Amino acid sequence: MFTLMGATPAIFAFEKVFTIAEAADRLGISLSEAHHHVADGSLSAFKVGRGSLRRHLRVTDDDLDRFVAARRVGPTVRAPDRPSPGPRASGAVPAAARPLDAPRRARRAALPEGRPGAFLEALRARDGRA
């Protein structure tokens, strides 16, 4: 077990220290992804050395355990399949009961069906752009 000089062993005691590359390898993620986790604070790391531009970061085994524990997921439970409700059970209103759709239904009924481009031709004719 390693402890920092002059520090309380209960606070700064750890079994193993990893570089960011080693931590990424143990987690099975890329080095850049590990750096992103350190940057956003989801993976704790500490700086060793004196450089401010080239930081030498280390991750303890406890930090890795906390990182994994925070992301642990349980089994996915799938909802049972239910039959789809009919139009009345779902609260749908029949088309004839929707008065605002009447003009749209009338325009649609007047359109020639089955020909490609018929809809656009009808719109152009309606707007006077033959």
What are the pLDDT digits (tens) for 25-69? Answer: 999 999 999 999 999 999 999 888 777 776 789 999 999 999 999
- What is the C-alpha separation between 118 and 32, in angstroms, rounded? 54
* Residue 127 three-state SS: helix
pLDDT digits (tens, 9 = 90+) for 77-93: 777 777 766 555 555 66
Supply the pLDDT for residue 129.
73
Domain presence at residue 3: no
Asked if 65 and 41 touch (Cβ cutoff 8 Å), the reply is no
pTM: 0.48
Considering the domain architecture, whether residues 65 and 20 belong to the same structural domain is answered as yes
- Percent of the chain past pLDDT 70, that is, above it, reads 68
| Domains identified in the chain, total number | 2
* Residue 1 counted as domain residue: no
Of 53, 57, 67, which Cα lies nearest the Cα of 17? 57
Domain that holds residue 26: 9-70
